[in-house]
Structure 1
Amino acid sequence: MTTQATPTSHAVNTSQVSDSAPDLLNLARHLSAEEQHRLQRIEDYVQENIRHQSIEPWNQEELPLDMLHGLGELGLGEVFVDGSSQLFQGLAHIALAQADVSISAVVGIHNELIVGTIESLGSAEQKDHWLPDLRRLRTLGAFCLTEPEHGSDIAGGLSTSATLEDDQWHIRGSKRWIGLGTVADVAVVWARDTADGQIKGFLVPTDTPGYQARKITNKTGLRIMQNAELELDLTAPESALMPKATSFAATSEGLRGSRAWVGWQAVGAQQALLEVARHHALTRTQFGKPLASFQLVQTALATIAGNLAVSTAFMGELARLQEESQLTMLRATLAKATLTRLARESAAIARDALGGNGILSTHEVAKIAGDIDAIYTYEGSYGINMLIAGRELTGVSAFV
């Protein structure tokens, strides 16, 4: 008499499947109770009000300003300057990127390169005038550095000029890839002073005559972020110059912090990828079994989880170093370059795991993957960031 083994059941009770992937390292446990509560409010809000609501604006290349108003009420327009811990700031950026990378880019650039720049480099009068509404996301700013012919070589090649005549700055030039350039209220314009050749920073209201912005369309990533080409031929008062923004060194300081911030975006994007791919694997049935029961699918999920864990650990330790004022350019560039590279790998794996649905923005992975490709390139391309890291390691520059 032959005894037959009972077949192993691969059934999954989909009613008990959580939409959320596990928090692999639980960095939030290091926050104070107050910051843990605040982070939970942010996470709940963005999942309920941004994650799915951002898909159609992403498809249409539109910025839903009403989404920003709610984030302003949560204090996300000022986390860079409100005394929040570095870890809280990073975890807040993860929450935003997990919901939508484009919105996280808007909020992150707003904090690091607009509010942060004005707070650290501006005059008392400039701070009093601009910061109250910026900190509440009632107004927006544009960081105007990159030019049509100068991106990676902007430090030496920047050609936008500023000439002081009769107590007025005459600013002329072109800018490209300027986030929020078409919708911002104030522009942080970097131009080369014709008197001393130094790159300096100016605060220019975007309703100033001679400020012209044209939206860049047909992007495949960060489609909610309104990037623009600018033509500048304007006059600004002498007081438009930020008193501490009188050389490119001031710009580099801000860019160092923003590169580290992109690392948090890479973590949030990968968390979103793991959530979507895991939920799909558990709820999609093929050959009479859930996809989650197949070895190739489990390997894919574990690979994404591994990339996510490495990225999370990197940024958790980087936050500690930032608290100790030890954020070096080497650490910032390696964070930005390495973690966006891992995020790209995770995106390709997740896209494959979803099969045909992986190319639909409504199934989220394609949307996330497009945004990851964008953050892989902005705030310094992958190659340039790696060469900056190489220069820091060797003391020898391979590109200038």
Structure 2
Amino acid sequence: MAELVPGARLSAGDGVDPDFFGYRDLLDDDDRKLLAGLREWLETNLAPIVDDYWSRAEFPSQLVASLAELDVMGLSLDLPDRPARSRLLGGFVGLEFARIDASFASFYGVHSGLAMGTIAQCGSDEQRERWLPAMRRLELIGAFGLTEPHGGSDVAGGLETTARRDGDDWVIDGAKRWIGNGTFADLVMVWARDVADDEVKCFVVEKGMPGFTAAKMEGKVALRITQNADLTFDGVRVPEANRLQNANSFHDTNSVLRATRGSVAWSAVGVQTGVFEVAAQYARDREQFGRPIGGFQLIQAHLAGILGNLTASLGMAVRGAQLQDDGVFEDAQGALAKSFCTTRLRESVAWARELMGGNGIVLEYGMARYFNDAEALYSYEGTREINSLIVGRAITGESAFT
């Protein structure tokens, strides 16, 4: 009888490659070498401790220094001290993080994509020089403050956090919710409505500014390693030098979201990759009725379905990254990729959990964490319903938003 090892996953050379159509072959040798180094780091440093930290809802901050040595932050951004590499490489980097843990992928996406991306797109040359090199080295950690207690899907029209000019400063009042990295971020990109012109602007609020508080959200059943926070701004004075000079309307906010929404699709692909690897290895090792369960038709049907979902999702994510590299990626394409890939993830992880029976709901076998985390990916950065309406508007030319 084969040994059933909790949390074991299919290794390279032991079975079918989850990248079934070989999309990684689109990358050059240097890119694949970078990914191999990142995968080795994740399997050595994160994989052995991830279930423990997920159970305790804590972030393994001790890993940040060694992660910085890999130099994978902001790869797709044109930084003052490093030219941009392809969106395709950046997508595969996000996949590798999510393959091990969706929360760590969220940490990467919030810091590298949303926070650094906001400064890269909306900051002046001086602001980019001031913050981005240190963020690249993970000497400064970033967060992105848009969602509010009363504003999620409708935040574009209902932003309640305000900014008021007072001499050389801005005074910010309001609250944000569900802010990833929020409990420990050094810099938070805070989107607020200017009371003078009613336009949305972005301010870099620094940790320790008087009137700024961050409280960890408790009781989550998904993305438990992600340190989501409730942020409160009570007369926080921010210098004009911390107002991002090229963020002057919600159109600018949306340009950041357009660039990063595809990253959630990549996270969904990464989680599906981990799900497939764990489920496939389990099917090889678990024996019932005197044989490995991988020899039963229904188990094989589940695995084939998961691989099909994964392959279709990866194809969409890859093409989206290519369109971004070409500068022709549209909102509706990002919305479809996010919606489709996270929906397929939800289906895949349900099949995998079912395949593993009772062992699918205990943390040590590796599937329960994926199962719960999939629910968060399904909802954040635009629900399926909202993204469907964005795509529907592109199809019909009619807006169904109320």
Q: Distance in 1 between matches of 2:286 and 2:376?
A: 30
Aligned residue in 2 for 1:7: none
The alpha carbon displacement at 1:12 in A equals 7.1
Q: Is the 8 A contact 1:25 1:312 kept in 2?
A: no
Cα shift readout 1:259-305 (whole Å, capped 9, x = no counterpart):
11111111110010110001001001111111111111111111101
Q: Is the 8 A contact 2:275 2:370 kept in 1?
A: yes
Aligned residue in 2 for 1:215: 216
Aligned residue in 1 for 2:231: 230
Counterpart amino acid of residue 278 in structure 1:
A
Q: Distance in 2 between matches of 1:364 and 1:254?
A: 33
Q: Is the partner of 2:201 in helix, strand or coil?
A: strand
Counterpart amino acid of residue 126 in structure 1:
Q
Change (3 A) 1:13 1:168: closer
Aligned residue in 2 for 1:151: 152
Cα shift readout 1:216-273 (whole Å, capped 9, x = no counterpart):
0111111111001111011111222111001001110111121111111111100101
Aligned residue in 1 for 2:377: 375
Q: Is the partner of 1:106 in helix, strand or coil?
A: helix
Question: Aligned pair 1:44/2:44, yes or no?
Answer: no
Q: Is the 8 A contact 1:216 1:228 kept in 2?
A: yes
Cα shift readout 1:323-374 (whole Å, capped 9, x = no counterpart):
2111100110000001000000001000011111100122111101111110
Question: Aligned pair 1:300/2:302, yes or no?
Answer: yes
Question: Aligned pair 1:192/2:193, yes or no?
Answer: yes
Question: Aligned pair 1:65/2:65, yes or no?
Answer: no
* Residue from 11, 15, 20 that aligns with 1:19: 11
Q: Is the 8 A contact 2:202 2:244 kept in 1?
A: yes
Question: Aligned pair 1:80/2:88, yes or no?
Answer: no
Q: Is the 8 A contact 2:175 2:230 kept in 1?
A: yes
> Equivalent residues in 2 for 1:103-114 (5 A)?
103-114=104-115
Counterpart amino acid of residue 399 in structure 1:
F
Q: Is the partner of 2:284 in helix, strand or coil?
A: helix
> Equivalent residues in 2 for 1:1-400 (5 A)?
18-20=10-12, 22=17, 23-81=19-77, 82-233=83-234, 234-400=236-402
Counterpart amino acid of residue 228 in structure 1:
A
The alpha carbon displacement at 1:67 in A equals 2.2
Q: Is the 8 A contact 2:4 2:282 kept in 1?
A: no
Q: Is the 8 A contact 2:335 2:391 kept in 1?
A: yes
Name stretches of at least 5 consecutive residues in structure 2 with no aligned partner: 78-82
Q: Is the partner of 2:232 in helix, strand or coil?
A: strand
The alpha carbon displacement at 1:13 in A equals 9.8
Q: Is the 8 A contact 1:330 1:393 kept in 2?
A: no
Which moves more between the two structures, 131-140 or 264-273? Answer: 131-140
Q: Is the 8 A contact 1:193 1:200 kept in 2?
A: yes
Q: Distance in 1 between matches of 2:253 and 2:287?
A: 52
TM-score, with length taken from structure 2: 0.93
The alpha carbon displacement at 1:125 in A equals 2.7
Cα shift readout 1:6-43 (whole Å, capped 9, x = no counterpart):
xxxxx87999x943551312211111111111111112
Percent of residue pairs bearing the same amino acid type: 40
Between Structure 1 and Structure 2, how many residues are aligned?
389
Q: Distance in 1 between matches of 2:397 and 2:246?
A: 28
Counterpart amino acid of residue 224 in structure 1:
I
Q: Which runs of 4 or more aligned residues in structure 1 lie more than 6 Å from their structure 2 counterparts after TM superposition?
A: 11-15
Change (3 A) 1:237 1:18: closer
